[in-house]
Amino acid sequence: MNAITTRPWPAFLLRKAAELLLAMVALVVITFAIAHLIPGDAARVVAGVDATAEQVEDTRARLGLDRPLAAQFWDYLSGVLTADLGESFRTGQPVSEVIANRLPFTASIALFGIALTLGVSLALGLAVAGLTRGNRNPWLDSAFGWATGVVLALPVYVIGAVLIVVFAVNWGVLPAAGADSLYSYVLPTIAIALGPIASMSRLVRREAAVVLEQDYMRTARGRRISTFRQYAKHAVPNLLASTLTLSGLILAGMIGGAIIIESVFAWPGLGRAVVDSIIERDYPMTRGIILTVGAVAVALNTAIDIILALVDPRTLRAGKVLA
């Protein structure tokens, strides 16, 4: 308990705050640069294909694209610091307003996906590890490795398309697109969770195989403690630290997966907005959405690091939390 409440914690939190600040600075720089790396002339796109050269130049001046990059970056940085992400080149709508309207849809399937991933991967990995302990049921170990390998090899949009064909087209039990009801969340959530479930369940299965052979687990089995208590009291707590170490990266990647899958399911979230903004060379919208998604991913990884430090206080003294 002393390791949690005394000096290591201030140093750990200060280090996490510094890492968070550096990550946000990098995000700001990258999101500013990435917009200018998109091929094409934003002024030409906004002005229209029939616009004259003079009209294009007027549009470029109106959008501020004729100013030096340093001045544009300063305006962008000032806007980020004041939560003003500018206005869409295409619609004139404030970017922050678009993000506020669409973020809940993206966040909802991402959060549902994270919950599904954590629950299923932990249960599946533990079950396979327990059933294959001591080289029992080798066929199950092989089938588990084969099935998870197939899932990991499939891109998320392919998984989404397969789910639509099976459950929406062939069986007609779930909607294929839109966000009109709770049933609309089922297929997108499964689509973004299947890959992470396969990855994390493999991790849990590998770590659980080691934990189940430890002396304290043998002692628990020798005392004829129920299987549920063995896993809940002894196995799971010792699995959490190693599982959380990599889960931050896996779960943060689900935010990006949610954006990709929105195009497959016509989901009204940030994914469709960022695709449209890239096609239309809408720099403010592109920057704002990528910055928001990146900030959420960084915050999620930081939260995972803090939870890991609570679960395993040894990481406070390790100089850094593995991720």
Residue 87 forms beta bridges with which residues? 94
Give the model's pLDDT for residue 178: 83
Give the model's pLDDT for residue 139: 93
Give the model's pLDDT for residue 322: 38
Give the model's pLDDT for residue 142: 93
Superfamily (CATH H level) for 2-39+85-317: MetI-like (1.10.3720.10)
Q: Is 94 helix (H, G, I), strand (E, B) or coil?
A: strand
Give the model's pLDDT for residue 218: 78
Give the model's pLDDT for residue 315: 67
Length of the chain: 323
Instruction: For residues 111 and 141, give the distance between their C-alpha atoms in angstroms, rounded to a whole number.
Output: 30
Give the model's pLDDT for residue 238: 72
Which tokens in the block code for residue 133?
Answer: 């302990």
Give the model's pLDDT for residue 323: 38
Contact 184, 108 (CB under 8 A): no
Q: Could you read off the pLDDT of 243-276 as tens digits, one per residue? A: 776 676 776 777 777 778 888 898 888 887 888 8
Question: Considering only CA atoms, which of 216, 284, 189, 301 is closest in space to residue 250?
Answer: 301
List strand residue ranges (DSSP E) for the chain, in order. none
First to last CA, the chain: 24
Q: Is 171 helix (H, G, I), strand (E, B) or coil?
A: coil
**Binned average pLDDT, 10 residues per bin, the chain of 323 residues:** 59 89 93 81 80 85 87 91 88 91 88 88 90 89 94 91 93 88 91 91 88 78 75 72 70 75 87 84 90 87 83 63 38
Give the model's pLDDT for residue 223: 79
Give the model's pLDDT for residue 319: 47
Give the model's pLDDT for residue 160: 92
Residue 94 forms beta bridges with which residues? 87
